[in-house]
Amino acid sequence: MQLSCMSVVRLRPHHLLCIRGFKGRGYSERFVKNFQEVLRRLEQNPTIEIVEGGDDICSACPHFRDEKCLKSENSEYKVRELDCRVISRLKLSTGVKMSYREVSNLVQKIPKSELPEICGKCEWIKYCTE
């Protein structure tokens, strides 16, 4: 059996869209550095696991505390709703493991024009739709 040195990248559903639109901006220097490290890992086409709740991007976010998104009032609830919209749009489910290339191909099929409907009032949407 061939052993892989690549570790599984854990991603919550809406971060699949954030990855596509990432322009080097984020909530803190540590957050951006970690995001870039996740992108570097994804370039190797690792296995990704679609997770419910916090993931490998949330883990370095200043808003992530007690395993929750505490960015604003109700943000944990809102971000989970956003995750639900994305996962249902991709016709996937949490717990699924697949290659990053496979999931990325699905994400690329979502037109930018659909993002306002999916992402709602996300503060970063201007970067994803430009």
Q: How far is the CB of 107 from ligand SF4 (least distance, A)?
A: 17
Cα diameter, the chain: 48
Region of residue 12 (phi > 0: left; psi between -120 and 50: alpha; otherwise: beta): beta
> 41 or 63, CB closer to ligand SF4?
63
- The piece of 36-44, 64-72, 98-106, 113-121 that touches ligand SF4 (CB under 6 A) is 64-72
Reduced 3-state DSSP string for 17-42:
HHHHHCCCCCCCHHHHHHHHHHHHHH
3-state secondary structure of 83: helix
Total chain residues near ligand SF4 (CB under 6 A): 8
Does the protein bind ligand SF4 through residue 86 (CB under 6 A)?
Answer: no
Does the protein bind ligand SF4 through residue 9 (CB under 6 A)?
Answer: no
- The piece of 55-63, 88-96, 98-106, 119-127 that touches ligand SF4 (CB under 6 A) is 55-63
Of the candidate residues 50, 51, 79, 119, the single one contacting ligand SF4 (CB under 6 A) = 79
Does the protein bind ligand SF4 through residue 61 (CB under 6 A)?
Answer: yes
For CA atoms 22, 62, 75, 54, the dihedral sign is positive
Does the protein bind ligand SF4 through residue 71 (CB under 6 A)?
Answer: yes
Rounded to 10 degrees, the C-alpha dihedral 99/32/111/108 comes to -20
Binding site for ligand SF4 (CB under 6 A): 57-58, 61, 63-64, 69, 71, 79
